[in-house]
């Protein structure tokens, strides 16, 4: 057996010849022991000036993995990297997929038209900008997006964020309000592209699911209260906090009007019943997507027949496709950075989460960083065609999946439906009641109130329940931005505390005795 020593003076030891000590110089007990050879292993000292003097060493160390991966990529892999749609185009099964994609695209498109107008009103914009936001970004995402079932477009939460920040800068009736909403889409797109290219999608792992659930629950309540004004028949203050909303609703109760309340309530009940039947019975799945369209048709028919003066209508909507224009208002970009970051975070939570779930159900892999890049490109192109920030929708993506969508062709079909609506149906949209659009928004956000999560956390983990409660409460009373910051901050504090104080399990004496007996028995 050889024993190796590593020493800073190894070179000196190696240079000197090794001779065994004489027995006379050893103690009596050690003199009789056999001598053993000692192997000298020279210690290789690093050159202290190699990194400082040659910067290429650093670059090679940092980028060697990327360079080797790039060199191994084929032409097909390069095309798939920049155009993910080529992956499903090469393997498209026309006989199996075409009919399913067409039906899913038509279903989602019919659902998107009224929802887009509703969410634009929630964002403080004219309904036409909701239709624009559901047109160009869909086609762009079908080319650059990696998910085959994700349905993008205007969503309630992003619309509320747009309304919340822009309402503090300028009045919604001002033209600058619309310009800033379009500029916000460009900023969000740039941030999403940067995060995708820098592969920063992993940052979402630091946000607890309890924070996400509490945030969406509080936001849904605020969204629903902000739409109550169309039911009551009088204006309510624009705010992302629950206290000003409730005060405004109570103070204007003397202006209450029965007709919009009755119509809105009836339409809301019809949508909810159709949604419930569509979820509970497979043979009636089409009812879930047909709910918003039914609300618009019923409301418009009633107005055309009875002409009620107390029910406010959408009004005239421009006809035709959006025109190319460069976003304006760059002098306000600095004040929009925080909101752009928040909307980008919501895009990661809402889009990438459901996109990964749908990819797993349909048997293909999805890269969250590439998904962020696809969403970013869709927002950038959309901003040049008068769209405000868009992202993936929970409800429409679920309907797209349930309708049997197999590839991004379903999204292209939905975009064509939206294009037909812009070209031929805008004169009919003039007579849509505002309360019908409000009912569509309220119906969509009811499912975001995740009280079941709070009940589950009460039984399983009280610490996560506390985190859920803190996030929901701060979002309701202090606003969306503060709610997110507080929720994420407390979540990180919990992670740091658990890391500093790990749980140490202790075995009971009885279990120790049992394990000892088993060890003796089988050893």
List of residues 6+ apart from 77 with CB closer than 8 A = none
Q: By C-alpha distance, which of 448, 467, 20, 433 is closest to 221?
A: 448
Give the containing element (helix H, strand E) for 425.
none
Q: Which pTM does this prediction carry?
A: 0.79
Helix 209-232 with 242-251: angle, nearest 10 deg = 20
Pairwise pLDDT comparison (238 vs 58), residue with the higher score:
238
Reported as a single tens digit per residue, the pLDDT across 35-48 is 555 555 555 444 44
Q: Is the pLDDT of residue 262 over 80?
A: yes
Q: Is the pLDDT of residue 510 over 70?
A: no
| The pair of three-digit structure tokens given for residue 110, joined into one six-digit string | 């019919």
Instruction: For residue 68, give the 3-state DSSP assignment.
Output: helix
Reported as a single tens digit per residue, the pLDDT across 440-470 is 999 988 888 888 888 998 988 888 899 999 9
For the ranges 7-21, 276-290, 473-487, which has the lowest average pLDDT?
7-21
| The pair of three-digit structure tokens given for residue 410, joined into one six-digit string | 């379903």
Reported as a single tens digit per residue, the pLDDT across 79-111 is 777 788 888 888 888 888 999 999 999 999 999
Q: Is the pLDDT of residue 249 over 90?
A: yes
* Alpha carbon separation from 392 to 152, 310, 397 (Å, rounded): 4, 36, 7
pLDDT of residue 53: 46
pLDDT of residue 316: 87
The model's confidence at residue 150, banded by pLDDT at 50, 70 and 90, is: very high
The model's confidence at residue 212, banded by pLDDT at 50, 70 and 90, is: confident
For the ranges 32-41, 165-174, 477-486, which has the lowest average pLDDT?
32-41
Give the containing element (helix H, strand E) for 153.
strand 152-153
Q: Is the pLDDT of residue 244 over 70?
A: yes
For the ranges 11-20, 29-38, 127-136, 386-395, which has the lowest average pLDDT?
11-20
The model's confidence at residue 4, banded by pLDDT at 50, 70 and 90, is: very low
Percent of the residues in the chain that have a pLDDT greater than 70, as a whole number: 83
pLDDT of residue 95: 87
| Residues 160 and 309 sit within 8 Å (Cβ to Cβ) | no
Pure H helices in 156-311:
156-166, 175-197, 209-232, 242-251, 258-280, 286-306
CA angle 450, 345, 406 (to 5 degrees): 75
* Alpha carbon separation from 145 to 100, 133, 138, 149, 380 (Å, rounded): 20, 16, 10, 10, 13
Average pLDDT across the chain, whole number = 82
Q: Is 329 left (phi over 0), alpha (psi -120 to 50) or beta?
A: left
DSSP one-letter code for 392: E
Phi, psi of 38 (to 5 degrees): -110, 125
pLDDT of residue 40: 57
* Alpha carbon separation from 27 to 18, 33, 37, 38, 351 (Å, rounded): 20, 10, 19, 20, 78
Q: Is the pLDDT of residue 169 over 70?
A: yes
User: Average pLDDT in the 223-246 region?
Assistant: 90
Reported as a single tens digit per residue, the pLDDT across 172-185 is 888 999 999 999 99
User: Average pLDDT in the 321-350 region?
Assistant: 88
Q: By C-alpha distance, which of 294, 301, 315, 310 is closest to 262?
A: 310
CA angle 49, 54, 55 (to 5 degrees): 125
Cα–Cα distance, 114 to 12 (Å, whole number): 85
Q: By C-alpha distance, which of 276, 450, 280 is closest to 349?
A: 450
Residue corresponding to tokens 């610490």: 463
């Amino acid at each position: 057996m050889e024993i190796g020593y590593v020493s800073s003076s190894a070179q000196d030891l190696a240079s000197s010849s090794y001779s065994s000590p004489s027995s006379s110089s050893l103690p009596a007990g050690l003199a009789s022991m056999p001598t053993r050879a000692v192997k000298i292993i020279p210690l290789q000292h690093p050159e202290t000036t190699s990194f400082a003097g040659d910067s290429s060493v650093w670059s090679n160390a940092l980028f060697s993995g990327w360079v080797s991966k790039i060199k191994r990529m084929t032409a097909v892999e390069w095309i798939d990297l920049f155009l993910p749609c080529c992956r499903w185009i090469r393997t498209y099964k026309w006989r199996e997929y075409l009919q399913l994609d067409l039906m899913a695209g038509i279903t989602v498109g019919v659902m998107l038209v009224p929802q887009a107008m509703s969410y634009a009103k929630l964002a403080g914009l004219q309904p036409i900008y909701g239709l624009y936001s559901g047109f160009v970004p869909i086609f762009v995402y079908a080319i650059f997006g990696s998910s085959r079932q994700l349905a993008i477009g205007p969503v309630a939460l992003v619309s509320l964020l747009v309304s919340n920040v822009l309402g503090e800068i300028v009045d919604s009736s001002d033209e600058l309000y619309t310009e800033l909403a379009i500029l916000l889409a460009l900023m969000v797109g740039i941030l999403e592209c940067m995060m995708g290219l820098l592969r920063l999608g992993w940052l979402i792992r630091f946000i607890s699911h309890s924070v996400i659930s509490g945030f969406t629950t509080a936001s849904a309540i605020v969204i629903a209260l902000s739409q109550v004004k169309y039911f009551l028949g009088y204006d309510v203050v624009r705010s992302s906090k629950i206290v000003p909303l409730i005060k405004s609703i109570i103070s204007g109760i003397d202006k209450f009007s029965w007709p919009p309340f009755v119509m809105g309530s009836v339409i809301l009940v019809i949508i909810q019943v159709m949604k419930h039947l569509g979820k509970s019975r497979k043979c009636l799945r089409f009812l879930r997507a047909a709910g918003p369209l039914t609300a618009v048709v019923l409301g418009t028919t009633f107005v055309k027949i009875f002409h009620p003066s107390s029910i406010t209508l959408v009004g005239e909507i421009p006809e035709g496709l959006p025109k190319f224009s460069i976003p304006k208002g760059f002098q306000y970009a600095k004040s929009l950075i925080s909101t752009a970051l928040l909307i980008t975070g919501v895009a990661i939570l809402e889009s990438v989460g459901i996109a990964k779930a749908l990819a797993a159900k349909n048997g293909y892999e999805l890269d969250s960083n590439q998904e962020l890049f696809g969403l970013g490109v869709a927002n950038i192109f959309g901003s040049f065609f008068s769209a405000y920030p868009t992202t993936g929708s929970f409800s429409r993506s679920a309907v797209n999946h349930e309708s049997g969508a197999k590839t991004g062709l379903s999204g292209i079909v939905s975009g064509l439906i939206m294009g037909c609506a812009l070209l031929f149906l805008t004169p009919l949209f003039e007579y849509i009641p505002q309360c019908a659009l409000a009912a569509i928004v309220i119906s969509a956000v009811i499912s975001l109130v995740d009280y079941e999560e709070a009940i589950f956390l009460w039984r399983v983990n009280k610490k996560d329940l506390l985190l859920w409660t803190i996030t929901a409460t701060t979002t309701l009373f202090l606003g969306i931005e503060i709610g997110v910051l507080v929720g994420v901050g407390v979540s990180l504090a919990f992670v740091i505390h658990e890391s500093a104080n790990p749980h140490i399990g202790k075995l009971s004496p009885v279990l120790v005795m049992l394990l000892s007996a088993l060890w003796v028995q089988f050893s």
